[in-house]
Structure 1
Amino acid sequence: MLFSFLPRHAVVAASLSLLAAASLPACQTRPAEGEPASGIAAGEAPAKPAPLDSAQLRAQAMRRDSLRADSIVKKSGQLPGAILPGHRIIAFYGNIRSKGMGILGREPKEQMFRKFEKVLDEWRAADPSIPVQPALHNVTITAQGTPGKDGKWRLMNSKATIEEVIKWAREHNCILFLDVQVGHSTLAAELPKLEQYLKSPDIHLGIDPEFSLATMPGVRPNQKIGTFDAKDVNFAVSFLARIVSENKLPPKVLTVHRFTRKMITNYKNIKLDPRVQIVMHMDGHGEPTLKKDSYHDYIQTEPVQYTGFKLFYEYDARPAPHHIMTPKEVIALTPSPLYIQYQ
């Protein structure tokens, strides 16, 4: 193994399991011989119970589990197995089938992992006070330059590709983020495609407003910067929270990319849930002053929960004053980011 891995977190099943509500029968007076049971007229058949609404029961169970999770957090600060804020996640981003989307896929596999190990060592040396959690961040549903048969301008990785990147992550003791660019589709339509993978405790989610264009008919990805509203983020949170509850998992991490104000609207309406740790991730490139200003304007001044910061090997490393910011420079930001991504 190239990396020293933080052990997978055990989950206290009792803290997150859904308990069926048991109701005790009410005390009743036994009727005299020949008299009808209380509440039932003579000759009438007992009323049939109303049919159970499975969706309603599921919602009630989720509500109970949400309240239980809130109670645990109030007592202990966080749910068992939570990655943040006790660790700093360092991720390599891209797509293992593409050389142009990021460092994850740009170089041969073993060469890329050797580079990753050096980066992890730099972060461990820069801040020994917080353990490093290695991660791969693979763009799994990708915005496309053509509409496709259904006109949604997006394409999902094959099952073989997803399984391969999962294998890469586990071989090197990394957690994995599956990133979603919905194009002209929606999170409600796309996220269920990833549920089978998100049931694993080491697989998390990223969503990218830049390529969310459902509110911009006819616009091709990369022509304009897309947007998510708080209600879209809340859908992703609820989706992940349900998976956590139903599968008795530790909290999921959700990264939300952002480098303009309009990429996320109504941020104050984003609802926190202890089963999901939200990272608002500064995704812009440029020279350090510009990146710091973007972090201040769109992340620090519009806080949600945790923060992230992206570094670009190609776009940041240009002639002075451009340079790839060092770990110490990034750590010095306020608040200090707990999710760092290299593209």
Structure 2
Amino acid sequence: MSGGRAVRVAGAAACLAAAVALAGCTWPEGEQADAPPPALPAVETVTGSDAVTIVDQADPVAAAAAASAAFFASSPVAVLAGEEPDDRLAAASIAVALGVPMLLTESADPAADGAASDAPTPSPTGTAVAPAPATADELARLGATHVVTVGAAPPPGVDTVIDVDQGDDAGTAAALGIALETVAAETEPLEAVAELEPGDGVLLADPAASTPPASPAPGADDAQATPTLPEVTRAPPLDTTTLVAVDEPAQLAAVANARAAGASVVFLPADDPDLLASPSVIERLAASGGPVVLAGAAFAAQQSLDWQVRSARTGVQLPGGGQQLFPEHMLVLEYGLPGEPILGILGEQGIDESIARAEDLAAAYEPLTDRTVLPGFEIITTVASGSPTDDGDFSSEPDAQSLRPWVEAAGNAGLYVVLDLQPGRDTFPAQLAQYAPLLEYPWVGLALDPEWRLEPDQRHLVNIGQVEAAEVNDVIDELARICDEHDLPPKLLILHQFRLDMILDRDDVDTTRPEVTVLLHADGQGSQPAKQATWRTLHQDAPEGVFWGWKNFIDEDAPMLTPEQTMQEVDPVPDLVSYQ
């Protein structure tokens, strides 16, 4: 059925014993309504304090069964829908109205719902089929003895089947113990079901099919009348549980099961199902703090989903929303070492003045891009030395506490902070460990400067350093561990580079960890033709999934690009611009 009208299912006051119970209140003609129908066991839902459940089956039939299991421990009643969109929407509304699970039948055409494990069995009408194995197994697990079917064939092994005819409003109301109120269908099916409250529902029906039911033949046996649904006692609502669903039709059953159980629903766009990029999802998870169900085949390819949920629950968001820096944001960084003006503009003034300067640098880019422009510091944290230091590694390593006032002041002002490591003859992972406490701030990332990563027999300004991809990956692993341990948003990792041999085996750099955002930063200075040539060379055979940064040297570039020129002449447009 398609192109139909909408019917809202409202609790019938005269037929409901309580707000949480829906009772069948129509008996076959000739019987006395002097006693209520027998009650069924209460519906039981799945509860937990911080559980994360993933429903990532590509087949909607299997996904519906998995969603049912995610929300319901048991239910004496289930709603079973056929393959037609209107039937599925009607079934979803009925499931929400009754507070019971919704399941699907397998399509008669395996290509319609995805690959099917067994050949379906057509119904007598040729449009509905018997339950697929996943559905039959879930009915058994639930202990369902009564099934409401909408465009689906009666399943075996249940006591009562109530078949809903969308053209027979009165019969539906009588059979289910609910009253129907016609309203306009103004929203998409997923949105409509997500907005339903327990006891409400939406049914779609084709007006052409809304013909009165046939009158019984004279002398027909009253025992053949449509059965009514015994009283269904809803479980207490899962009002701290959240379903995060990909916004696609295949998730209708998951949404219906969530709302039937009293859980809230938020959506991720189908073209970018990244929960850490969604301000609304982060807000909802931070507010609810309870169990989370993730529904969508896209989640099958994602890593560290438990960490993503924990990070979202913190409620921390970047200016402009979300926890992902790119591609929604553009970073503009002020580079240098506090108190050392010779090493960059960050050292030319105090904390408050540096914050204001960073904000001014970023503000110049705001009219040039649709992105949210985020100011920040790149603080030279360990400093390459031309002569041996006390520990012999040719790198000065200030105490982390000396940088904390800068890190905290920047974060309080809404700036992002990057700690830059110049390790000399030490290693990047060893130096990272010294500053790990600062990386526990959600607004702090890391930069590796391979130019200053020496072998034991090398010296600065004599040799240009380099780092192997394996060492970079050790840093990525440690950053991912810090994020996981402290429920932190993804960390930015900048890799400075102006020669290809500065990062050996660059293709092996791991860009797949969701906890770490890898950015290659073109760190060269000089004439614009030379800088552009370096930019193009670095892009050749770059690891998939990296972002890109460009540096403007105020004194060394000839000439330095203006913000307008940076955005117009650097192709592709950089995700990050720093100033030294």
| Counterpart Cα distance in 2 of 1:68 and 1:159 | 29
Equivalence map 1:135-284=2 (5 Å): 135-214=376-455, 217-272=456-511, 273-284=513-524
Does 2:577 align with 1:335?
no
Residue by residue over 1:284-319, the C-alpha shift from the partner in whole angstroms, topping out at 9 and shown as x without a partner, is 011211111111101354244100000111101xxx
Aligned mates of 1:170, 1:103 — CA distance in 2: 19
Paired with 2:437 and 2:327, the residues of 1 have a C-alpha distance of 27
* Partner amino acid, structure 2, of 1:94: G
Q: Give the alignment partner of residue 325 of structure 1, picking from 547, 551, 561.
A: 561
Q: Secondary structure at the match of 1:145?
A: coil
Which residue among 111, 117, 120 is the counterpart of 2:362? 120
- Alpha-carbon distance in structure 2 between the residues aligned to 1:186 and 1:71: 28
Normalised by the length of structure 1, the TM-score is 0.73
Specify the SS of the correspondent of 1:219.
coil
Q: CA deviation at 1:223?
A: 1.6
Match of 1:210, SS state, is helix
Structure 2: distance between partners of 1:302 and 1:209: 16
Structure 1: tracts of 5 or more residues without a match: 1-6, 15-65, 74-79, 317-321
Normalised TM-score (structure 2): 0.44
The structure 2 residue matched to 1:86, chosen from 319, 325, 328, is: 328
Q: Which amino acid aligns with 2:337?
A: N
Which secondary structure state, in structure 2, belongs to the residue aligned with residue 315 of structure 1?
coil
Q: Residue 39 of structure 1 corresponds to which residue in structure 2? A: none
Task: State the percentage of identical aligned residues.
Answer: 28
Alpha-carbon distance between aligned partners in 2 of 1:117 and 1:188, rounded to the nearest angstrom:
31
Read off the aligned partner of 1:336 and give its amino acid letter: V
What is residue 97 of structure 1 aligned with on the other side? 339
2:533 maps to which of 284, 293, 296 = 293
Cα deviation, residue 262, structure 1: 0.8
> Corresponding residue for 2:151?
none
Q: How far, CA to CA, are the matches of 2:434 and 2:345 in structure 1?
A: 25
Deviation digits for residues 214-236 of structure 1 (CA, Å, limit 9, x no counterpart): 2xx33222221100111121111
**Residues 1:302 and 2:542 are matched in the alignment:** yes
Equivalences, count: 275
Counterpart-to-counterpart distance in 2, 1:126 and 1:300? 27
Between 238-247 and 333-342, report the one with greater CA deviation: 333-342
SS of the residue aligned with 2:520?
Answer: strand
Unmatched runs of 5 consecutive residues or more in structure 2: 1-278, 288-301, 310-321
The separation in 2 between residues aligned to 1:112 and 1:202, in whole angstroms, is 17
Which structure would you say has the larger Rg? 2
Q: Contact (CA 8 Å) 2:339, 2:349: kept in 1 or not?
A: no
8 Å contact from structure 1 (residues 282, 299) kept in 2? no
Counterpart of 1:311, as a letter, is N
Cα distance change on mapping 1:299 and 1:97 into 2, 3 Å: farther
Counterpart of 1:335, as a letter, is: P
Residues 180-219 of structure 1: per-residue CA shift (max 9 Å, x gap): 11100012321111111111101110110000002xx332
With over 3 angstroms needed to count, the CA separation of the structure-2 counterparts of 1:143 and 1:107, relative to structure 1, is same
C-alpha distance in 2 between matches for 1:302 and 1:167: 34
Change in 2 beyond 3 A, CA 1:150/1:330: same
Cα deviation for residue 101 of structure 1 reads 0.7
- Partners of 1:10 and 1:203 in 2: how far apart? 19
Q: Please, what is the CA RMSD of the aligned residues? A: 2.9
Separation in 2, partners of 1:183, 1:13: 42
Quote the Cα distance in structure 2 between the aligned partners of 1:179 and 1:242. 19
Q: Measure, in 1, the Cα distance between the counterparts of 2:555 and 2:472.
A: 29
Contact 1:209/1:226 (<8 A) preserved: yes
Q: Is this contact kept in 2: 1:13–1:248, CA < 8 A?
A: no
**Counterparts of 1:83 and 1:270, CA distance in 2:** 20
Question: How far apart are the structure 1 equivalents of 2:307 and 2:356?
Answer: 43
